[in-house]
Structure 1
Amino acid sequence: MTNAKSAADTNPKVAAYTYTPKAERETETKANGNTVTYDYFLDSLLRHSLERKSNGTVVAEHTIGYQGNLNRASDQAKLRNADNPGAYLENTYAYTYDPGTGSPRRSKPPSVAVAAPPKPKPTSTTPTATSTTRPSRTSAPSSPSTATG
Structure 2
Amino acid sequence: MDLALRRDPVRHARNTVRRHLAAVGLTADGGPVVKELIDAAALIAGELVSNACRHTLGPEAMRLTWDSTCLVLDIDDPSPLAPVLVPEDLRGERGGFGLQIVESLAEWWCVVPRVEGKTVRVCIGHPQLRVPLGPPSRYRSGSPSCPVMSRTPA
Length-normalised TM-score, structure 2: 0.29
Could you say which structure has the higher strand fraction? Answer: 1
Q: Which has the higher contact order (CA 8 A, sep 6+)?
A: 2
Higher Cα radius of gyration = 1
Length-normalised TM-score, structure 1: 0.29
